[in-house]
């Protein structure tokens, strides 16, 4: 069991039969859980699960419709001095320095200035940020901003820390440091509740609750949840992965040997109730189809398996609306789609990209990984003709040099890190605009638009103003808008940042389908579990 060391198993938080209604919408529907002192407790669930409402009630900034939330025995609203709350949005003053932000928060929370100074120094040192005390908050990287926000939340020395998706947009090195700091603080007795859409982060919690449509469906340690699934995972390697996937999917069904199939870049993950039986069924089917399987091995299921399987049992299927493909790029197969030689970009004395060579062929998915500031976005901008290289050559969609021509532009799709959509247009107007820019033939537009709406879960909401949508939904529309014209080359810069696991899965299923149809795809991501795809 996950009893944190050096702390009594005292109850820190008790939530009992909690409800929250907004008009007709029931955001939280009678949830109950406890968190022990010194525990890291994770709330995981898709967008709209009710996690943020739960946090707002625990933080005492919103009233519940029914039920109770207690922190160290007192109602959450009366225990606000005990809680620190980090919201999804960046909540610091960009034009104040790191130190000034800390002093300002200390003042607000009425902590004596000398105490604020001492604690500020201590936490900045703990997070490796002491050298940046004088820097403007607006000029920090994503990871450092989050560490500063955490420092500000810690300065009043709360006993409970509430973190609502604290690592969105934070690179892997900073993410690991952030979680190392959380583990350290929890070991010192701080109680932490954290929501995250990233299931590798959920592995770092002592216990986790899986939330969906306002209800909690499973609670336990990550190991208990994995064991509770009653399934094993087979990793299948095979040269003809697309065929193997179709084969495994044909064995899926109630009581059958296959519960779930997920495609990764160089393997399939097949979830099965019984590994021996699952392996036999797969091998038999492969033999009948004359499909050689290179390797098959058993492993424990992941939290992602638990998540997807549980939601599927609840009837939430990542809707696989078939993409209305009208063009096949198979003829281009194996030719170079994106090429770079000696690619270099300097901004004054700063070398952002140094001598990069790469070659990506049609039908390939290429992941570009790196910390913030490693040069990924600059590289992408040069590759797709948005930025002139200082040195070196680019080859794109069959053209050299003239990569900014109209002809090339209609063959590529680009989804930028910041939303490429117009916030003050409706969803429909955005889709019409991009269909026009990318030259989608008029007779295909309607089918494509309907597909994007289905993929985004926005059917019937096409008249809504894009800016009013939650981030995860906007990402889905932006992704859809970038592929409506069936580009032969697709650039995706952090496409899944802030997107929940089910939607992320739908993104990757689509990416693989596009690659199978011959599209070359370059993706950047901070989430390395998806780089495996």
Partner 1 sequence: MVAGELVVEGSPDGIKRREMAHRRLLEVRVDQPQRAVDALRRDTDPWRIALFGDRLHVIADDDGDRAGELLAGSLRKHGLEVLEIRDGRFSLEDVFISVVERARQEGRVALEEGA
**Sign of dihedral through CA atoms 470, 476, 480, 482?**
positive
Binding footprint of partner 1, residue count (CB under 8 A): 60
- Contact between 160 and partner 1 per CB under 8 A: no
Pairing status of strand 336-347 against strand 350-361: antiparallel
5 is an interface residue for partner 1 by CB under 8 A: yes
> Shortest approach of partner 1 to residue 484 CB, angstroms?
29
Residue 181 in the binding site for partner 1 (CB under 8 A) = no
| Minimum distance, C-beta of residue 128 to partner 1, in the bound complex (Å) | 9
Minimum Å distance from CB 176 to partner 1?
A: 6
How do strand 489-493 and strand 520-524 relate by DSSP bridges?
parallel
507 forms part of the interface with partner 1 (CB under 8 A) = no
- CA angle, corner 528, sides to 325 and 38, nearest 5? 130
Please choose, out of 4-12, 47-55, 273-281, 305-313, the segment that lies near partner 1 by the rule CB under 8 A.
4-12
Across 8-111, where does the E strand assignment appear? 11-22, 25-36, 40-44, 66-71, 74-75, 83-86
Q: Using CA of residue 486, residue 490, residue 491, residue 492, what is the dihedral sign?
A: positive
Is 220 an interacting residue with respect to partner 1 (CB under 8 A)? no
Residue 417 touches partner 1, criterion: CB under 8 A = no
Q: At what angle do helices 275-288 and 241-250 cross, to 10 degrees?
A: 120
Choice between 132 and 438, CB closer to partner 1: 132
Closer by beta carbon to partner 1, 57 or else 241: 241
Structural Rg of the chain based on CA atoms: 25
- Using CB under 8 A, which of 179, 434, 479, 507 touches partner 1? 179
Q: Which of 32, 65, 91, 141 binds partner 1 (CB under 8 A)?
A: 141
* Exposure b/e, 219-252, CB count within 10 A at least 16 = b: bbebebbbeebebbbbebebeebeebbebbeebe
Please, which of residues 337-376 interact with partner 1 by CB under 8 A?
Answer: 345, 350-358, 368-376
In three-state secondary structure terms, 78 is: helix
Q: How far apart are CA 150 and CA 146, in angstroms?
A: 6
Closer by beta carbon to partner 1, 321 or else 531: 531
Gap between the Cα atoms of 421 and 347, Å rounded:
28
Q: How far is the CB of 15 from partner 1 (least distance, A)?
A: 21
* Residue number, 215 or 224, with CB nearest to partner 1: 224
Report whether 477 contacts 524 (CB < 8 A).
no
DSSP state of 252: B
CB of 388 to partner 1, least distance (A): 16
* Residues making contact with partner 1 (CB under 8 A): 2-6, 40, 139-141, 143-144, 172-174, 176, 179-180, 183-184, 186-187, 200, 203-207, 221-223, 264-267, 299, 345, 350-358, 368-376, 378-379, 528-529, 531-532
């Amino acid at each position: 069991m996950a009893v944190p060391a050096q702390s009594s198993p005292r109850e820190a938080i008790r939530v009992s039969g909690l409800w929250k209604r907004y008009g007709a919408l029931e955001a939280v529907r009678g949830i109950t859980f406890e968190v022990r002192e010194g525990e890291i407790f994770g709330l995981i669930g898709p967008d709209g699960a009710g996690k943020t409402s739960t946090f707002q009630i625990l933080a005492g900034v919103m009233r519940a419709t029914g039920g109770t939330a207690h922190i160290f025995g007192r109602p959450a609203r009366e225990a606000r001095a005990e809680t620190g709350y980090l919201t999804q949005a960046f909540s610091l003053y960009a034009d104040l320095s790191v130190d000034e932000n800390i002093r300002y928060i200390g003042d607000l929370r009425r902590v004596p200035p000398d105490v604020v100074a001492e604690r500020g120094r201590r936490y900045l040192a703990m997070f490796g940020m002491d050298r940046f005390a004088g820097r403007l908050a607006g000029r920090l990287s994503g990871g450092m901003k989050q560490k500063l926000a955490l420092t500000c939340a810690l300065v009043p020395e709360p006993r409970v820390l509430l973190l609502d998706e604290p690592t969105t947009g934070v690179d892997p090195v900073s993410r690991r440091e952030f979680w190392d700091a959380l583990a350290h603080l929890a070991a010192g007795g701080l109680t932490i509740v954290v929501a995250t859409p990233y299931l590798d982060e959920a592995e770092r919690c002592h216990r986790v609750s899986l939330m969906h449509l306002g209800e909690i469906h499973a609670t336990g340690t990550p190991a208990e949840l994995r064991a509770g699934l009653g399934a094993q995972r087979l990793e299948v390697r095979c040269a003809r992965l697309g065929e193997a996937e179709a084969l495994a999917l044909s064995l899926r069904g109630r009581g059958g040997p296959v519960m779930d199939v997920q495609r990764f870049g160089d393997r399939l993950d097949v979830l099965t109730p019984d590994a021996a039986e699952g392996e036999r069924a797969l091998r038999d089917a492969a033999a009948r189809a004359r499909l050689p399987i290179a390797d098959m091995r058993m492993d424990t299921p992941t939290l992602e398996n638990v998540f997807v399987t549980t939601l599927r049992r609840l009837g939430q299927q990542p809707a696989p609306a078939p993409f209305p493909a009208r063009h096949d790029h198979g003829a281009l197969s194996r030719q170079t789609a994106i090429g770079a030689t000696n690619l270099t970009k300097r901004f004054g004395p700063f070398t952002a990209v140094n001598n990069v060579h790469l070659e990506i062929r049609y039908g390939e998915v290429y992941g570009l990984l790196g910390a913030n500031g490693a040069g990924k976005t600059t590289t992408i901008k040069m590759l797709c003709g948005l930025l002139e290289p200082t040195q070196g050559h680019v080859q794109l969609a069959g053209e050299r040099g003239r990569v900014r021509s109209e002809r090339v532009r209609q063959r590529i799709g680009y989804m930028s890190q910041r939303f490429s959509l117009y916030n003050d247009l409706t969803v429909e107007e955005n889709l019409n605009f991009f269909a026009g820019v990318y030259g989608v033939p008029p007779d295909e537009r309607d089918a494509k638009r309907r597909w994007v709406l289905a993929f985004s879960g926005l059917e019937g909401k096409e008249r809504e103003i894009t800016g009013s949508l939650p981030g995860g939904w906007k990402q889905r529309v932006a992704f859809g808008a970038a592929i409506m014209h069936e580009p032969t080359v697709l650039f995706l810069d952090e496409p899944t940042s802030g997107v929940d696991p089910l939607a992320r899965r739908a993104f990757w299923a689509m990416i693989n389908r596009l690659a199978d149809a011959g599209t070359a795809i370059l993706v950047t991501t901070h989430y390395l579990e998806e780089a495996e795809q």
